[in-house]
Amino acid sequence: MPLEMQSRASSRMTRALNLKSTSNEDESGDCIDDNVSALNEEVFKREPWLADTYLPSSGWVASFPEEATFGAAVRQETVDRLLVQDDKVTGIVTSSGNIMADHVVLAAGLGTIELAATLSIDVPVNSRPSLIVHSKPVSARLLNSLAISNGPHMRQTVQGRVIADRGNPTTDPAAVADIFKKVQAMFRSNLNGTPLPSLELDFYTVGIRSVPRDGLPILGYCGKKGLTMAVMHSGVNLAAFVGQTLEVLVTTRTKDEALEQFTLSRVNKD
């Protein structure tokens, strides 16, 4: 699991996911929203191409759509700063103009530091680089989920590339071949008589992770009206649960006790 936490609240945060399904429809086409414990036998039903190499004995599976807006407008913008009026955050300033909002959720990774600093808010987050290997595209769907194993952490893009890192920070190019060899070992050589498509390394990149200094997510209100914060590693693993939790917090103003130990105020008390 990406975080080691002791309390019920921490356990609730980390149950997010050794595998996260990208489909949210059952066989009837009805929407499902599950977050269930899964043994490897159950995992293999969802991910038949996976071998048991590097897999933990059990984990969690949650079903969420890979690309869903739920009625929201998705825009790609460069955010320059936050808008504030009467000591309340009222929107953002982007490269193409202002966007007004009743509430802003600041979830910009390392960019959170700079944007929060414009409001004199210190966000204690460090950067951590890691090599990410990218396969050449394959036509077969080898992964339906985000797979977080004891070895590589993998997903497959809509273009067919398998993207992975080994879960440990390194920027040594010499490690690329080793990481990709472990990626290849994560898959069965054949499935019901169908051989595994050729999985070849194409290139690698260096990803920069945003990691709070004490290792725990920074979530919830941060001392400024109209602003909620979400900074964590691993954001991909925890995003589904955190998104749902903050949605309730923002729209209903109902606090979740599980969030209390993850607010920015915990750092300010130290």
Q: Are residues 133 and 163 in the same domain?
A: yes
**Amino acid type, 206:** V
Q: Are residues 142 and 249 in the same domain?
A: no
CB 44 within 8 A of CB 53: no
Last residue of a domain, one of 211, 232, 250: 211
pLDDT confidence of residue 83: 95
Residue range 111-135: average pLDDT? Answer: 91
Q: Which long-range contacts (CB under 8 A, 24 or more apart) does 157-163 make?
A: 161/134, 161/135, 161/136, 161/137, 161/202, 162/134, 162/135, 162/138, 162/199, 163/132, 163/133, 163/134, 163/135
Residue range 180-190: average pLDDT? Answer: 92
How confident is the model over 11-32, as pLDDT tens digits? 333 333 333 333 333 333 333 3
pLDDT confidence of residue 58: 58
CB 129 within 8 A of CB 116: no
How confident is the model over 55-104, as pLDDT tens digits? 666 555 544 445 555 677 778 889 999 999 999 999 999 989 999 999 99
pLDDT averaged over every residue in the chain = 77
Sheet holding 88-94, edge to edge: 79-85, 88-94, 97-100
Residue indicated by tokens 């509430």: 103
How confident is the model over 199-223, as pLDDT tens digits? 999 999 888 888 888 888 999 988 8
pLDDT at 144 over 90: no
Q: Are residues 262 and 134 in the same domain?
A: no
Residue range 171-189: average pLDDT? Answer: 87
- Give the number of domains in the chain: 2
Strand partners, 227: 104
pLDDT confidence of residue 211: 87
Q: Are residues 86 and 131 in the same domain?
A: no
Q: How far is CA 154 from the centre of its chain?
A: 12
pLDDT confidence of residue 39: 63
Lowest-confidence range among 32-36, 56-60, 141-145? 32-36
pLDDT confidence of residue 64: 45
Q: Which of 176, 189, 204, 206 is nearest to 142 (CA)?
A: 189
pLDDT: which is higher, 138 or 257: 138
Q: Are residues 206 and 188 in the same domain?
A: yes
pLDDT at 184 over 70: yes
Q: Are residues 100 and 116 in the same domain?
A: yes
Strand partners, 125: 212
Q: Are residues 202 and 218 in the same domain?
A: no
Distance CA 179, CA 149 (A): 13
pLDDT: which is higher, 58 or 143: 143
pLDDT confidence of residue 18: 37
- Identify the CATH number of the domain in which residue 218 sits: 3.50.50.60
Domain that holds residue 111: 79-124+213-269
Is residue 98 assigned to a domain? yes
pLDDT at 8 over 50: no
How confident is the model over 228-253, as pLDDT tens digits? 999 988 776 677 788 888 888 898 88
Residue range 162-171: average pLDDT? Answer: 75
